[in-house]
Structure 1
Amino acid sequence: MKKASIFLAFLMIFAVLLAGCGIGGGASKTAGEKEKIVIGYFPNINHVPAMVAKDKGYFEKQLGDGKTMEYKIFAEGGSFMTALKTGEIDAGLVGPGPAMNNYSTGADVKIIAGASTGGTVVLARKGVKIDSVDDFAGKTFITPGVGCTHDVQYETYLEAEGITSQRIGGSMKHLTGQPAQYAAMLKSGKVDIAVAPEPWAAVIEKETGAEVVIGWDEVSFGETLPASVMVTSGKMIKEKPETVQKIINAHKDAVKFINDNPAVAQEITIKDIKETTGQELEKEEVELAWKRIGFTHEVDAQAIQDFSDSSYSLKFLKDKPDFKTMIDDSFLK
């Protein structure tokens, strides 16, 4: 009996030690451990504010020594939104399409700032003749995701002419994939039309000889819609408003730096995209892409509502939502 008591006591001590080391279930961080803040973004030019903030250490400067930063890279909006909903990331940049689609199904997501505008370009594979909008019928097009920002812009543009995808009874065939792979897919003939975010549109032009058939300022919502927005969760806003404010402060610093120092920002972009995708963009490609994008922390709420109405018309959304409560611009004031 005595040996059994000693053994049980040992087990209890061992369990306490495990919990103290963070191995036991439900363990919290130990005293002195820094809180980690995770920011997500995509490797395209609409997300340059995150790249610049990362490179210049703006988040670290704003958040102070009590927190440590981590960055996660995403190829498309669906996986980004899953990460936000599960708490894998705390905030980050995403297209308004995925944010609105998830909000409409009950996701706890808030748009807290703008990041960029423009940057969506539609290109036709070399040899594919597009003389009028009617020529898009029956073609195979590719976008980063179903119902993503670029997809909605493209389909809205053509819906006005009565051309829709097979998803809603039309003739256009739709594929999805990573923009960095579009050039290869065009060369292989797997797709006819690429709806590409910058800088990949500029890369496609140079590498494949593809022709721009709908410019960034011609495609629907091209000049008004935020191409990327800063989002977080309502829970984060409620529980850590000071942290959210500091994230926004860093984001605003990054946007200002981009507009004041475009050449340096372009160098940061080339470096970051090479590190995250393995592809090194040429300076000329980035300069071309830069002409098709604007950077701002402001949010155009009406443009977002108009975009959502179109998403509903195209049946990406089941119900026609009101996104007024989705936008929280209080941290910008």
Structure 2
Amino acid sequence: MNRGKLSATIASIGLLATMLGGCAAPAGDVPATGPAAELRLGYFDNVTHAPALVGLEKGFFEKELGDTTLTPQIFNAGPATIEALSAGAIDAAYIGPNPAVNSFVASGGQSLRIVAGAASGGAALVVRPGIDSAADLAGTTLATPQLGNTQDVALRTWLSAEGYETSTTGGGDVAITPTENAQTLTLFQSGQIDGAWLPEPWVSRLVLEADAHVLVDEASLWEDGAFPTTVLAVRAEFLAEHPDAVKALLAGHAASVAWLNEHPSEAGAVINAKLAADTGKSLPDPVIARALEHVAFTTDPLAATFPVLLNAGVDAGTAKAGDINGLFDLTTLNAVRSAAGAAPVSAGELGTE
């Protein structure tokens, strides 16, 4: 399926699926069917998705997948990715934690499993000159990548803590307008919005290309600055049917994360090469350098933070309360880590490890 047709399919699924995700057959009810002929992988052209970008650019995934054809698909934000995953249009995805949680809860735990972490950090609220504190935000208009995505929830949660009311329809003391990242940059440059809560490299692009400044670095809101920005999720049905393909995907993912951490001086060039291939344009060196300073790459999904993320989504009005026990399946990841001599990561009593 080409990207245009995929986008049309996704758009037709609707806002309910965007916020809550869909249902897939429970993993335990699906018999294994042997090797996967294809693995369709979703990701964003963001620095916070660098493990996907590097894994694709350097061939780590294809090397591990062998005869399984890898078909990448590019998305802009998590809720749209969840729509595709729930509809069976893709099999696995790099995604923010909040849309993954929403889908799991809405499906009664049947839609997906988080099988690894990917990135921590790299998200912030950037604003125009003249806004120097939370008190200056009354009556402003701020953007997020999509309603219900991880940065959208973070912004609504922070504004609520600062005493502001917001609405999922754009009303309230501060108007929040979900906007595609590239359009956010254009709207900010033209003065039509006052700021945005964004992932990297968009934070750095607004700072270096549009005279924005950081009002809130999300890392400052979490203990030790550690919070999940990107995780790797797999459809529960695909995981049950093709565990070997998922193991190969995770081996490629782990290799990509390891490469990023072992080659920081080369990371920007490799990420830029993939961005140029995807979008026709690479990032300026200062932008990608600044972005990488604010992101950490790890296969640990930081599972202990997920109850906090769920409650934040519920309070923000973009999620429903529910049980997230079983959200994580880290058994294969930990087998891959063990083979590499690394310690296991924890599912935070929210799944298997």
- TM-score bucket (shorter structure): 0.7 to 0.9
Letter in 2 for 1:244: V
- Aligned residue type for 1:102: S
Contact preservation (8 Å) 1:62, 1:246? yes
What amino acid does structure 2 have at the position aligned with 1:123? V
1:240 equivalent in structure 2: 242
* Aligned amino acid, residue 110 of structure 1: R
Q: What RMSD, in angstroms, separates the aligned Cα atoms of the two structures?
A: 1.9
Residue of structure 2 in register with 1:96 after alignment: 97
Matched, 1:315 2:327: no
| Residue 193 of structure 1 pairs with residue 190 of structure 2 | no
Aligned with 2:54 (options 40, 52, 55) = 52
Partner of 2:15: none
1:140-155 equivalent positions in 2, closer than 5 A? 140-155=141-156
- Listed one character per residue, the Cα deviations across residues 77-134 of structure 1 (whole Å, up to 9, x for unaligned) are 22211211222211120111111122221161111100000111111123xx223212
Distance 2:126 2:300 in 1: 29
- CA offset at residue 331 of structure 1? 1.3
Aligned residues: 297
Runs of 4+ in 1 over 6 A off after TM superposition: none
CA contact (8 A) 1:36 1:69 kept: yes
Work out which of the residue numbers 104, 123, 128 in structure 1 matches 2:126: 123
Contact kept in structure 2, 1:53 and 1:59, CA below 8 Å = yes
Query: Higher Cα Rg: structure 1 or 2?
Result: 1
Distance change (3 Å), C-alpha of 1:141 and 1:109? same
Unaligned runs of 5+ residues in structure 1 are: 1-33
Q: For 1:221 and 1:279, locate their aligned partners in 2 and report how far apart those are by CA, in whole Å.
A: 36
Is the counterpart of residue 324 in structure 1 residue 325 in structure 2?
yes
Structure 2 runs not aligned, ≥5 long = 1-35, 335-353
On the 8 A contact 1:153/1:220 being kept in 2, the answer is no
How far apart, CA to CA, are the structure 2 residues paired with 1:305 and 1:278? 39
Aligned partners of 1:221 and 1:307 also within 8 Å: no
| Match of residue 184, structure 1, among 183, 186, 192 | 186
Q: Which moved more, 1:195-204 or 1:81-90?
A: 81-90
Would you say 1:231 and 2:223 are equivalent positions?
no
Give the Cα separation in 1 of the matches to 2:74 and 2:188. 25
2:111 alignment partner in structure 1: 108
Q: Specify the alignment match of 1:28 in structure 2.
A: none
Checking the alignment, whether the CA contact within 8 Å between 2:147 and 2:168 is kept in structure 1 is no
Alpha-carbon distance between aligned partners in 2 of 1:74 and 1:181, rounded to the nearest angstrom = 14
Rounded to whole Å, the distance in 1 between the matches of 2:238 and 2:227 is 25
Aligned partner of 1:286 in structure 2 is 288
Query: Take 1:83 and 1:252, find their aligned partners in 2: how far apart are those partners?
Result: 24
Paired residue secondary structure (2:253): helix
Q: What residue is the counterpart of 1:9 in the other structure?
A: none
- 2 CA distance for matches of 1:173 and 1:56? 41
Relative to structure 1, is the Cα distance of residues 289 and 257 closer, same or farther in structure 2, using a 3 angstrom cutoff? same
State the Cα distance separating 1:323 from its structure 2 match: 1.6
Calculate the TM-score normalised by the size of structure 2: 0.80
The residue identity in structure 2 corresponding to 1:72 is Q
Identity within the alignment, % = 31
Native 8 Å contact 2:84 2:90 kept in 1? yes
- Distance (whole Å) between structure 2 residues aligned to residue 113 and residue 176 of structure 1: 27
8 A Cα contact 1:117 1:222, kept in partner: no
> Under a length normalisation based on structure 1, what TM-score does the superposition of the two structures give?
0.84
Mapped partners of 1:60, 1:315: distance in 2? 40
For 2:223 and 2:128, how far apart are their aligned partners in 1?
A: 23
Secondary structure of 1:322's counterpart equals: coil
